[in-house]
Every structure is written in C-alpha cells, then in structure tokens.
Amino acid sequence: MHRLFTLVLAILLTLPTMGSEARDSIAAESHFKAGEVVMPLTLIGAGTLGFVQPLKDARYQVRDFLEEWRGDHRTAIDDHLQYVPLGAVYGLSLLGADAKHSYVDRTLELATAYIALGGIVNAIKYTVREPRPDGSAHNSFPSGHTATTFMGAELVRIEYGDASPWYSVGAYTAAITVGVLRVYNNKHWFTDVFAGAGVGILSARIGYWLLPYTRKFMHNLTGCDAFVYPAVNDRSAAVGVSLRF
C-alpha cells in the first residue's frame, strides 16, 4: 500500500510546476475585487463588538451557560479538525476533483495566506491581550484555530467552488464546527470566533489576490523552469526534478 501511494503521488507530480502557461500568466493582474473584503471585515468588526456593551455582558452569559450545561467535559476534536480544510486544498484533487490552480500555485496561495494570517492574528493577540474565558492566557482575541480552519475553507471554495458547491459546504461545515467547539471548550469568547473567521477568510483571499505576484517572485528567484517526474522500478518509486535555465 505504501508503494502504491508513493507511485500515485509520483505520477501526480509529473505536471510541470512552472511551464510556458505559467510564464504567460506571470504578468497577469491581481484577482483583487474590493467587494470581497466586505464579508471578512464585517466578521472582524462583529468580533470587536465584544469589547462593548451589550455584547460584552452577553459573552459572560454564554460562558456561564455553557459551563453549567457542559460541566467538566472537554474535547480535543477542534485541535485536529482545524487542519481538515487545509488538507482538502490538496486532498480533493488527489481524489479526482478539478482544482482551479496547480499544486505549485496552491502551495504559493497557502504559504502567502499563512504568512498573512500569522501576522494579523499575532499582531492583534499580543496588542489587545484579551483574557481567555477560562483565564488560562491573555491572547484570546481573535481565535487562531478558527482563523486557520476558515482560511482552509475559503481556499477550498476558491479552488473547488466551480467544480461543486458541496466541497465548499463541507469545508465550511468543518470550519464552523471548529469555531463552535472553541467556545464550547471555554477557550474563546464567541466574538473571538467571529473575528477569527474574518481573519481566516481575509488571509485566504490575500493569498489568492497576490498569486500572480508570488508566482512571478518565485520565477525570478529561481530563474528557471522546473519539471517534476516520477522514477519507478520494481522495488521503489521516487521523484526526480529537472531544471531548465
């Protein structure tokens, strides 16, 4: 089974990572559309309302209700489920779904989105220093778990939304579940989750908007075209890389 998986992966990697089509599209303009910032900024704005009345009191009411209803029960599902949409960015195409971009472009999207997410989340967390509902730390706002999983869900929507809306539904269902569980586990206020969702969606869109430029940057940095191909024999399967300068 391990050899079969390696062989399949090697075959998938036979696609050129930066061929003539990519070069032709290097000069393409950003995909940015002003209207696409409305939803994430609205979610972030809704999250900041948790610092003012009456939502500030509502946060405590929700926490106290959940503590009474939940008791000592906790779950670690959210720690793992947050990465499922990210895995789906690659995994769905392995299962035969048609993605909008190549594996390399998706990697550039994801890397850029992660950089944006890390910068935004940590800058806010350690500037605001909001206490967590359970009092364990002063970095509650916004929810990093929620930001991560909504970033993955939005990337799934971008890459596979044209293939089938159900891919987006599945990814966003997982993301919403993570957000709910962060509140259930008493790790975040519900307003932290709103803000985290907004940051995640915004970060994914930043990765998508900047793709023409990150693609151009990588091409200029390497100064070459790369072609990845499988090398298979009776005992093993490997991956080779050919560079054209």
Return the percent helix, strand and coil in the chain, to nearest 5.
65, 5, 25
Residue 2: inside a domain, yes or no?
yes
Domain of residue 41 covers 34-209
Q: What is the pLDDT of residue 33?
A: 85
Structurally, the chain folds into a number of domains equal to 2
98 and 113 together in one domain: yes
Q: For each successive 10 residues of the chain (245 residues), what is the average pLDDT? A: 41 40 48 90 97 94 94 93 97 95 93 96 96 96 98 98 97 98 97 98 97 87 55 47 49
Orientation angle between helical segments 144-160 and 84-94, nearest 10 degrees: 20
Q: Within a domain: residue 98?
A: yes
> Residue 225 and residue 242: Cα distance in Å, rounded?
8
- Extract the tokens encoding 109: 């999207």
Q: Helix or strand or coil: residue 113?
A: helix
Both 198 and 182 in a single domain?
yes
Q: 22 and 84: one domain?
A: no
Kindly state whether residues 41 and 151 are assigned to the same domain: yes
Q: Are 158 and 196 found together in one domain? A: yes
- Geometric angle at alpha carbon 86, from 44 and 216, rounded to 5°: 85
DSSP one-letter code for 16 = B
Q: In terms of domains, do 84 and 118 share one?
A: yes
Q: How far apart are CA 77 and CA 82, in angstroms?
A: 9
| In a domain? residue 7 | yes
Whether residues 106 and 127 fall in one domain? yes
* Tokens standing for residue 134: 């359970």
**CB 83 within 8 Å of CB 237:** no
State the pLDDT at residue 211. 94
DSSP secondary structure, 148-186, as one string = HHHHHHHHHHHHHTTT-HHHHHHHHHHHHHHHHHHHHTT
Note whether 26 and 64 are same-domain residues. Answer: no
- Domain match, 55 and 21 both: no
Helix, strand, or coil (residue 238): strand
Are residues 19 and 94 both part of a single domain? no
For tokens 């008791």, name the residue: 71
Q: Check which CATH number belongs to the domain holding 116 and give it.
A: 1.20.144.10
In a domain, 185, yes or no: yes
Q: At residue 14, what are phi and psi to the nearest 5 degrees?
A: -75, -10
68 within some domain = yes
Q: Give the residue ranges of DSSP H helices in the chain.
A: 2-12, 20-25, 38-48, 55-70, 77-81, 84-94, 103-128, 144-160, 165-184, 190-209, 211-222
- Specify whether 5 is located in the same domain as 79: no
- Do 59 and 146 lie in a common domain? yes
CB contact at 8 A, 179 and 231: no
